[in-house]
Amino acid sequence: MLKGVIFDLDGVIVNTVHLHFDSWKYLFATVHGLPFTMKDYDEKVDGRPRLDSIRLLLPHLSEKEVIAAGEVKQKRYIELLNEKEIEQFPASIKLVKELHNKGILLAAASSSKNAKYIIEKINLTSYFTAIISGYDFTNGKPHPEIFLNAANALKLDVKECIVFEDAMLGVQAAKAGNFYCIGIDRNNHPSHYTQANLVVKDLAEVDYDRLSQLIANK
């Protein structure tokens, strides 16, 4: 029986990918002179905790320098967030509100440490029972800790939850935790979602009734 839904944030509820990409490119290309493309973002950054991405792409840095680099990226990202309006996916917002009205418990689970700030800024805080951010777990995706913590915060078993993810590492993390996972392939990368139970282009393709049926037939 469906009792909880766990939403990744970036790429699922809001479209902040371009802001993340610009702030990462500022760090890697402008500050450190390392070429950085969207392919690098998709394969080496998206879904990973911030410091893990820096360790991967700038392995010569000391741990102190890694932390400092993370602060540079964070500062630039917050500047961009405050300069621009946050784009929201209308179908995702509609689904959040529908599920909440049906009594389904909702959690947001994001590797970003800015998750609570973003949800507050788009006025969705009251819809979520739990918000799990980069401050709330130790092991980054594809480890399932982030989603297990979200289910625990909702006081639900993983079998009672569905996870929505747009990133390959996020799908892998959800499946590692034995969740039913719906992958959102907005950019036509089917190879990123081979482990997902269902793949959609947008959350307009699902609603409360369909999600309830999916979890019942799991």
CA neighbor of 138 nearest in space, from 20, 52, 55? 52
Q: How big is the CA angle at 148 (ends 142 and 151), to the nearest 5 degrees?
A: 140
State how far the Cα of 67 lies from the Cα of 63, in Å rounded to an integer: 6
Helical H runs in 58-144?
A: 63-83, 90-101, 115-121
Q: In the 8-state DSSP scheme, what is residue 92?
A: H
List the catalytic residue out of 8, 40, 46, 52: 8
3-class DSSP state of 206 = coil
Q: Would residue 10 show up in a list of annotated catalytic residues for this protein?
A: yes
Q: Would residue 8 show up in a list of annotated catalytic residues for this protein?
A: yes
List the catalytic residue out of 10, 40, 52, 166: 10
CA neighbor of 112 nearest in space, from 86, 85, 73, 55? 73
Q: Which residues are catalytic?
A: 8, 10
